Chains A and B, each alone.
Chain A
Amino acid sequence: MTGAHQAPARWVAPNFKDLLHETWEAETFLFNPLSGHTHVLNQEAMALLETLSQEPSSTRALIERFAAGNEHPQAPQALVQQLMQLELLGLICRVQQQH
């Protein structure tokens, strides 16, 4: 019996390498061949996606990286909402890390 517990979920973009994307002006147009949908992402969302394509990150780590320097008090909340939207679009998912 190991008594392993589940750490908080981390986010990952498992299919990023399959996505097609073009960036014009401040927007990225992204095609997901798994869903057949085309999405328009702003710079912040695209930066999140690229980060999560390199390695899984927790919400806390992402807030520290992207929202900590932001003076707007709602920045962490906005980042969490953005993560949930990307999850709804099927672009990222949660993974549990066993300790």
Chain B
Amino acid sequence: MPGSATALIGECDTRQLTGLARHGHLCLRCGPFNIRLHSDQPDMVQLLQRLYHHQQQLDSRQSLSDFSISLQRPWGLRRWWRPQVMMRTDAQTPFEPFPLNHAFPLFEWSLNWLIATQAHQFLMLHSAVVEKDGVALIMPALPGSGKSTLCAALMLRGWRLISDEFGLIRPNDPELLLHPLPRPIPLKNTSIEVIRSFSDKAVLGPIFPKTRKGDVAHLMADRDSQLRGNETAVPGWFLFPKYQQGAELALEPLARGWTFLKVSGNSFNYKLQGARGFRAVAELVKRCPAFSLGYSDLDQAIQQIEAVHTQIVAGRRAGTGRQA
């Protein structure tokens, strides 16, 4: 929704942001969404300011919000004893409370849930998406694929992060452009150290131990990705990565039928989109070649991805269509 931009959130005065959040007036612009936050937790606001540094902060009194998230300590015993934080949205409390010091993961999880259940103006692929030379690489999320780690590594090697979680496409858009949502990438367990040692450019938040997904730390989307949050990307190709310890690098082309099933099956709202969803996914599969990539070494995987991407981009420019 449109809103009046005021400043980058990282350049705002922290006390002012904390005050806005306390009164439910902190509004964050990220990609196509305005997100309103109501929270009495200054630590949470500080971390938000750090990890969403280059996103716009809007005045919620002058902006319409797509999603409203309230993170407050509950009244009663759990306000003080093993304190908790509860998420409320539109007078609903869809989740069990989290420990108070896990307010930021709860914010991220809540935002994922709100987008996945409400943003049906988009066909939402459950995918990491990165872009280079104007062409997007879509990595659908299969369990245990290591897509977040690979997505993070690609961003740290200069690719633009479109999203770690959502491939957002307006289903009636003939170009099927991908809309950015450059939010922090949640790294889990061993991936945290893998990425920390992979690049000294990695800006990581604190480790939140023992969440429902294990230890989690959030990698900030880089400056370029955040500042280009309104710049769409042309879909280029699909990659289904599969991390396996000790595995040799193995790139294999995939059949279109298999790709269609996996992409539609991994979408958050393919079925809800009806005929529009079928047409959009079918068109994506026609335009974009698909590969699987088995890997154990991030550098090797990235080298291989760069080589395929170069061919895809060259093919696009030469107008040779789908095949790399």
Contact = CB atoms under 8 A, between A and B. Distances in A.
Contact of B275 (A24, A27, A29, A33): A33
Interface string A15-53: 000001010110101010100101010000000000000
Contact of A25 (B255, B278, B279, B286): B255
Given A38-B264, A40-B261, A24 B256 contact: yes
A33 B285 CA distance: 20
Contact of A38 (B256, B278, B285): B278
Contacts of B256: 24-25
Contacts of B285: 22, 24
Nearest to B265: A38
B257 A31 contact: no
Interface residues of B, number: 14
Given A22-B282, A33-B274, A40 B257 contact: yes
Nearest to B272: A36
B257 A20 contact: no
Nearest to A31: B278
A40 B258 CA distance: 11
A29 B271 contact: no
A61 to B, nearest CB: 31
A24 B260 contact: yes
A85 B285 CA distance: 27
A36 B257 CA distance: 19
Interface in B259-291: 260-261, 264, 271, 274-275, 278-279, 282, 285-286
Nearest to A23: B257
Given A36-B271, A38-B264, A24 B278 contact: no
Q: Which 3 A-B pairs have the closest CB atoms?
A: A31-B278, A24-B256, A24-B257
Interface of B: 255-257, 260-261, 264, 271, 274-275, 278-279, 282, 285-286
Given A33-B275, A36-B274, 8 more contacts: A20-B278, A20-B282, A22-B285, A24-B257, A29-B261, A31-B275, A33-B274, A40-B257
